[in-house]
Amino acid sequence: MIAPEPLPSTTGRRRVLVSSVSSDSHTWNLVFLQLLLEELGHTVTNIGACVPDDLLIAECRRHRPDMVVISSVNGHGYLDGRRLIARLRAEPDLAGIPVVIGGKLGTRGAEGGSHAPELVEAGFDAVFEDSAGIGEFRRYLAAPQTPALHHDAPPVPVP
């Protein structure tokens, strides 16, 4: 029998923006993340696939999310992600938003090595490569060092 991993308690409604990157047309990865985050009690805005950097920036300004979750599986995520996070961190009013990225980020899978160090260096708060499985992300969401999604962190007021 397969025992499901218990859901971590990141209770309290937080606003999470889920998005892909500009080159990536896959959508089920985004739906999966939306359902996972909703199951944890958060309010998710999923802005979909092939999102240009300018649109992501505009949507961050519009929604003021507590966290941005970027997903890419077409193999170009490490390139798109590096460019995107540099753009976002250059916007003074958005520079502090917690932003994570995950998925199949390179074209050569696990044998292509990890893209995490360069993506963290570029400005992401955390990187979740497909090969690590979803458990690492769930633990990250539940960790006390990830205050953005915890109920005792004050919610960001909607402007």
Work out whether 137 is an interface residue with ligand B12 (CB under 6 A). yes
**Do residues 25 and 51 make contact, with C-beta atoms less than 8 angstroms apart?**
no
Please report, as residue ranges, which positions from 84 to 113 form the binding site for ligand B12 (by CB under 6 A): 100, 102-104, 107, 109
At its nearest, how many Å lie between ligand B12 and the CB of residue 157? 26
**Do residues 87 and 124 make contact, with C-beta atoms less than 8 angstroms apart?**
no
Which residues have a Cβ under 8 Å from the Cβ of 3 and sit 6 or more positions away?
none
Q: Which of 149, 112, 141 is nearest to 129 (CA)?
A: 112
Helix (H) or strand (E) holding 127: strand 126-129
Name the phi and psi angles at 131, rounded to 5: -65, -20
Work out whether 81 is an interface residue with ligand B12 (CB under 6 A). no
Residue with smaller CB distance to ligand B12, 34 or 63: 34
Q: Which of 128, 141, 146, 149 binds ligand B12 (CB under 6 A)?
A: 128
Work out whether 69 is an interface residue with ligand B12 (CB under 6 A). yes
Contact string 21-60 vs ligand B12 (x = CB under 6 A): --xxxxxxx--xx---------------------------
Work out whether 73 is an interface residue with ligand B12 (CB under 6 A). yes
At its nearest, how many Å lie between ligand B12 and the CB of residue 51? 12
Question: What's the CA gap between 116 and 2, in Å, rounded?
Answer: 30
At its nearest, how many Å lie between ligand B12 and the CB of residue 92? 25
* Count of C-beta atoms within a 10 Å radius of residue 111: 7
Which value, in Å, is the radius of gyration of the alpha carbons in the chain?
Answer: 15
- For ligand B12 (CB under 6 A), the number of binding residues is 24
> Which residues sit at the interface with ligand B12, rule CB under 6 A?
23-29, 32-33, 69, 71, 73-75, 100, 102-104, 107, 109, 128, 130, 134, 137
